[in-house]
């Protein structure tokens, strides 16, 4: 209702603007309605462009969706990293290391609860455009799995986790937290009451701590 109406047909936008706008619009659609709500025409409407313009930037709707999924996954990782950063204590300190792992799980569950649409979207990458975790080499891996691994490594370093049990333990832990998020979010447990949900989440985190000792 601003520039779109004042300048009825400004044919050209700044370079890369439309593409970024489409992704941003897609993210908002995903936020409020999950992956199925990411509809190409709606995104172009939000940007103020004709539907076909999207095809100058994406091969098809799936490619746009893949980009949106990637953005959603990034937001999840950002929130996890923020929650980790909030935990005080030197690296290698046993208590701090344990609290950092707890912060990871809590942030994950919180994201799934507060942003169900984005959470579902983050894991709804279309088959053709698999989400490649764009490994930036030496830079610290700011993906959910990368953050989890770092936390587990710190637990070993702090002497909390037996090095012999370290190998591959990220997968059951990730699965446990993810499963809890899915079942209580969109899954069969979604109708549980607030107290029940908190109890289930608490049990999940306790289950992890139990398995490390």
Binding site for DNA (CB under 7 A): 9, 11-13, 15, 17-18, 39-42, 49-53, 55-57, 60-62
Choice from 171, 193, 194, 198 touching a second copy (CB under 8 A): 171
Choice from 79, 133, 149, 156 touching a second copy (CB under 8 A): 133
Q: What would the two tokens of residue 65 be?
A: 């969706």
Smaller CB separation from a second copy, 92 or 172: 172
Choice from 4, 39, 96, 183 touching a second copy (CB under 8 A): 183
CA dist list (Å): 24 to 8, 68, 69, 193: 22, 8, 11, 33
Smaller CB separation from a second copy, 21 or 117: 117
Kindly state whether residue 46 participates in binding a second copy, applying the rule CB under 8 A: no
Smaller CB separation from DNA, 61 or 79: 61
CA dist list (Å): 1 to 5, 45, 49: 6, 12, 13
Smaller CB separation from DNA, 38 or 103: 38
By three-state DSSP, how is residue 76 classified? helix
179/14 Cα distance (integer angstroms)? 43
Extract long-range pairs of 19-25: CB within 8 Å, 24+ residues apart. Answer: 19/57, 19/58, 21/46, 21/47, 22/47, 22/54, 22/57, 22/58, 22/64, 23/64, 23/67, 23/68, 23/71
Smaller CB separation from a second copy, 21 or 105: 105
Choice from 123, 142, 149, 153 touching a second copy (CB under 8 A): 123
Q: How far is the CB of 179 from a second copy (least distance, A)?
A: 3
Q: How far is the CB of 128 from DNA (least distance, A)?
A: 10
Choice from 32, 59, 163, 207 touching a second copy (CB under 8 A): 207
Kindly state whether residue 48 participates in binding a second copy, applying the rule CB under 8 A: no
Q: Provide the b/e sequence for 116-148 (b: ≥16 CB within 10 Å).
A: bbbbbbbebbbeebeeeeeeeeeeebebbebbb
Q: How far is the CB of 55 from a second copy (least distance, A)?
A: 22
Which partner in DNA, a second copy, none is near 20 (CB below 5 to 8 A by kind)?
Answer: none
- Mutual orientation of helices 170-185 and 94-114 as an angle, nearest 10°? 30
Q: How far is the CB of 82 from a second copy (least distance, A)?
A: 21
| Residue the block writes with tokens 């637990």 | 155
């Amino acid at each position: 209702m601003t520039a779109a109406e004042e300048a009825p047909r400004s044919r050209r936008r700044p370079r890369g603007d439309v593409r970024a706008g489409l992704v941003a619009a897609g993210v908002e659609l995903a936020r409020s309605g999950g992956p199925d709500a990411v509809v190409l025409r709606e995104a172009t409407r939000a940007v103020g462009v004709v539907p076909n313009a999207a095809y100058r930037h994406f091969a098809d709707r799936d490619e746009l969706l893949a980009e949106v999924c990637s953005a959603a996954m990034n937001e999840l990782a950002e929130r996890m990293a923020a929650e980790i950063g909030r935990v005080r204590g030197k690296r290698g300190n046993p208590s701090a290391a344990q609290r950092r792992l707890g912060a990871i799980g809590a942030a994950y569950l919180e994201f799934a609860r507060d942003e169900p649409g984005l959470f579902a979207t983050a894991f709804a990458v279309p088959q053709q455009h698999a989400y490649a975790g764009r490994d930036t080499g030496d830079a610290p891996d700011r993906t959910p799995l990368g953050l989890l691994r770092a936390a587990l490594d710190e637990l070993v370093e702090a002497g909390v986790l037996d090095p012999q049990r370290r190998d591959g333990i990220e997968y059951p832990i990730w699965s446990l937290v993810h499963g809890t998020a899915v079942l209580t979010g969109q899954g069969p447990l979604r109708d549980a009451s607030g107290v029940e949900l908190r109890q289930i989440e608490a049990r999940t985190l306790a289950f992890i701590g139990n398995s490390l000792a």
